[in-house]
Structure 1
Amino acid sequence: MEKTFKDAAPPVTCHLEILKIRALSEVCKLIGDAVHFDTTLSRILKVLHDILHMERATLVLLDPNRQRLSIRASYGLSIEEERRGIYGLSEGICGQIFQSGSPCVVPDIDSEPLFLNRTGARSQIRKEKLSFLGVPVKVEKNTVGVLTVDHLFGPDVSFEEDMSFLEILATLIGQFLMLHHAISQKEEKLVEENKSLKAELHSRFNRHYIIGNSPAMQEVYRLVEKIAPSRATVLLLGESGTGKELVARALHETSTRRDKPYIKVNCAALPENLLESELLGHDKGAFTGATTAKPGRFELADGGTIFLDEIGELPILLQAKLLRVLQEQKFERIGGTRTLAVDVRIIAATNVDLQSSVDQGLFRADLYYRLNVVPIQLPALRERRHDIPLLIDHFLRSSNERNNRKVKLADASLDFLTTYEWPGNVRELQNLIERLVILADKETIQPEALNVHLIGLSAPSPQARGVLTKPAGKPLSTHNSLKDLERLEIEASLRRNGWVQARAARELGLTQRQMGYRIKKFNLSKPAFAQAE
């Protein structure tokens, strides 16, 4: 009899060892591919059932407050049964294993008073045929939980082998818990660092009057922070009034050139015959009136940064000379023969489509590619509506302080301005707030007052129109729309300024380009206007 048992034992043992190795292999694979912590724990426990036929596996862990033990993962329990699996730190068999840090076997749960069956999962099972096994789960020698399984009695059961396997598995789970904890701490640290960096970026750029927390502006801040330390030429793209000059200043102030000159040149504001002299300088006697030598803006910016605003307006003949400066950092003054070398970081900006200008032959392709090394697209205000209340608050405080006023906006007015389309972007919003503060008759600006002050703006969006057409208080003006008001004000301003577009634009707080657009939009012309008079 004994000989027969010994002869039969090796095949059974061999088969069991293969199953254990297979189970451990599956567990290691699950841990290695883990993405979601709790899902992986549940799958590990499922392996015990699928390969080794162990029943109702549970992982009981110490809760974050370290006051009790609760089921974190299970297999074979319903959600309700799992919720009931809560134990005191020294309660029942799980509490005993947790406190002692030693494994425990209950051959017959029916005869064990410490077995609480708290989950109620075994009420339909004949308890006299059920055994219970539990081992501590440790992290760095500290017990943090208990791994338990039920196992039906069978002729080939060996508690020693089962417990040995469970202890190995508990060690793997402990390592997985430790890895998860380390990753969680690292993620928390990265989140805090990210918040800190965002706050630092916002604080840093707020000093340059760049205001905004929207995702679009956070991306601009990120690019500026990354690009600023380099020598790369930057091309700022975006509509008029989006803050390109502020971003250019921020690029300089956050670079290693911050203590060197920052020179700005508006390529659209200077006459063509003076622009070359302004950029490159001239020697004495270079032309009539050149009584002394004059350094150009590139010389003045040596070691620092030069900001070429409205680069798309640069005359085609001057573009070739600028290209040489970009390529070689060398040039000659007008009328001079000495070649000057400078170390200048170039930032250019434009609100026109340079690629389209290249296609039309208005802008040199080689210069465009030389400028377009690192482009930054600035978002239009309508693409960052989340920032409008912040901007309004800033402009209101600044304007109130300058003008010794205490003007504020009603909530409905703020709602209207937030949903407005803002073709002139931040500059347009700033000019409007300044006008509201100066001309307001009351301290609180109601929506109906906006109908009077929104001059020079395009028609509002449907959402804004809904706010504006349902104000509390006195009725709106009898004009059909803001578009009519805009046309009337443009005509009146041109009349007051003798049809000089530049003066009218300044009076209304518009750029010359915006004024030209509105004259074309309303089909205004001097002869027609004169006849109407």
Structure 2
Amino acid sequence: MSANPAALHRIELEALYRVGEILSRSLDFRHTLREVLRTLDEQAGMSRGMVTVLDPESGDLVVNAVSGQDDAVAAPVRYQSGEGVLGLILDEKRTVALAAAGAEPRFLNRIGIYDRRLPFIAAPINLGGNLRGVLAVQPNTPDDGLLAERTRFVEMVANLIGHSVRLSLDIEQEKKSLAEERDSLRRTVRHQYGFDNIVGRSAPMRRVFDQVRMVSKWNTTVLLRGETGTGKELIANAIHYHSPRSRGPYVRLNCASLPENLLESELFGHEKGAFTGAVAARQGRFEAANGGTLFLDEIGEISPAFQAKLLRVLQEGEFERVGGGRTLKVDVRVIAATHRDLEAAVDGGNFREDLYYRLNVMPIRLPPLRERPEDVPELARYLAGRIGEMQGRQLALTEAAVRRLTQYNWPGNVRELENCLERAAVMSESGTIEAELIRIDRQREAPAPAAAFVAPPPVTGATPGTPPGATSGPAAADAADANPDERARVIAALEQAGWVQARAARLLGMTPRQIAYRIQTLDIEVKQF
């Protein structure tokens, strides 16, 4: 280095400019410090440099970056208060400049990079008046009378590093806050869409839960089957949030809500100028779901022409945007849902057979509410609690109201049950839902399919406790429509059983489900006690 003060000043200005550039372009604090030390070596003639950062937990200065050395070498070295020259700075928070490092008895040179015959400069890195670290460097030449000038330069570099430390700490804190918020949201969402929020203890629902738990572990395509209102979207949510892809995106689309031309753009995206109004390129749902799950509701509503395009994505995992020629590859797990009879649609030529087999890898059928009446009481109380939260009050269902709910067939399934309860909640001033507030649209009530009432073969003859004229088994229920005295017989059995339907069912040789259905179809008003 030249001893000319003007030349030294020019060199230091150029080095300061370069240091400022480095500190402003990177948010990787440790990498940035190594770049600063390299600049001091190449441009300012200070090849031996080190940056220590204050450990807020221990209060020690920890080596963070060393000229020409990696993190593995620098990381373990610490300086405590009063320990060596750096420990002195930790105590007194002032710059130390030595004409010869070896002349100071407290000089330790723990990392072994400094020459004891050369000058040594250590300046505190301050942030808001508080010490955050130390920049310690050594000029490459013996003291030439310009130690004070070089010390001012090192202090300016330390000041620039201090501003970078502030930014780095702010960003680190923001990252930590975002990570905590993300983890909290993930826990909330996982709980919200967990099995605890899907009500059902009946055998059909337990089978569904078992299937969901098994299929969640893999990337298998799932086809959810079931009537409208049976909770297909809830099951799809549970599959995603209990799968290895739960940290990835979860994208949903109702295929019935869009016409075919918009559905293609929505799923595959489009390039700028692909059609009128496409003023910018836009990614589709498949791209958005890359690495995660795509839930396609009402898959049975798409046209045969679009089915061929969808088939290619499911088979190959690749597609082109509308108006584009570049093939895009995605890694997406597909969960599809439909209430339609896809097998009939395949036979009728309205649904591609190859697409059907591609979707039907793991079919899960959700039972309608009429096939699991034992779940109605618990489900009703859960829905009443949720409605109460929306209304800002507590709602309670009386036992009579619960019994009335279990007597209905619920052709609209859970959605109809929820609407019925919300209507009753609106009409309840006290927050208690009585049986009289349960208004059911009996015009919509329809007999349940025969499959819902599978029972053992009828047994001829009377059984003990069977009223005169009644036969045992389901045959009694099946013949009811043809028997004009059926209504009187059911009422008589209910009276004898104290209007407890399970007892009356045993008297008539029916199942509880069958007598509940007869009470509905015969329009019998159940007495409450």
Q: Give the alignment's TM-score, normalised by structure 1.
A: 0.48
Q: Give the alignment's TM-score, normalised by structure 2.
A: 0.48
